[in-house]
Structure 1
Amino acid sequence: MPISEQHVGRTYPPTEPYEVSAAKIAEFARALGDDNPAYGGDAPIAPPTFVAVIAAASWDALFGDRELDLALRRVVHADQRFDYVRPLRAGDVVRAVLSIEKVRVRGEVDIIGVSVQVATVDGERVCSAASTFYHTHAAAGAAA
């Protein structure tokens, strides 16, 4: 059964633990061209969009869910929002849990809203990341 409104509320298991390191923070900040001193030194914090690395790992469960009949090659990532409790810091070990929040099927397009809750392995909530995906259906007779 392809993805539908009936899948709203589906939640996937947590991702494997991810350790936020000073090296990864520095690498990410360099890739952004952001030389903010908060991203270096002895106790760096991660740039706000760094959490996308962790959230994206949780997307594997969604796109790997055979029941939903989703194909990543037919997806446009339309929107991304972050709601922080606190910044990610070097030394944090976190997991991400993805839930399907909204599904709208409009002709040949599925509009899928997901939320990803990022928390430390000890259960401290750090951030939520919300994304919207546009997914097109396979053309009749085409390979999925």
Structure 2
Amino acid sequence: MLTSELVQNQVDVWCRAEGLPGVAASYASSTVVLSGSVPTLRHAHLLKRELLQHNDVRSVVTSALEIEPRRDDTDVLKDAQAVLAGCACARVRLDVFDGVVSLTGDEPDSGSLQLLEDQLSGIPGVVDIRSTVTFAPPLESFDRESQTAPPGA
């Protein structure tokens, strides 16, 4: 049977393996609640994924985790724009406010968008990623559809 002590031990082992200071964990009613600080949003996601692999864990609450250290939004934006520039998401735009990266625009490939979000989550100072990106077909498909058939076809 899973207990808070066993969950805390698992979290401690994970934190040591990642070279992180300890994160507090409690367990009740199939839910793990994490508190403390981690250096990036990606660390919070990875720890949550690790805990959800246990059969007795149905949910992991990470809202009490803080991303430390905080960074100035202009520095986070500069790093986020560098990630976006190296991504295939040409029609996606981003902004940063209080460490929250907001993504807007449209993207034909959900895999590219997921990769972008994963890379953004590894930027120090990013505390959340919010996306209103819509999925749209590539621009080339509109060009093909608008062409008329050749004479005699």
TM-score band w.r.t. shorter chain: under 0.3
Structure with the higher helix share, 1 or 2:
2
Structure with the higher strand share, 1 or 2:
1
Q: Which has the higher contact order (CA 8 A, sep 6+)?
A: 1
TM-score, scaled to structure 2: 0.25
TM-score, scaled to structure 1: 0.26
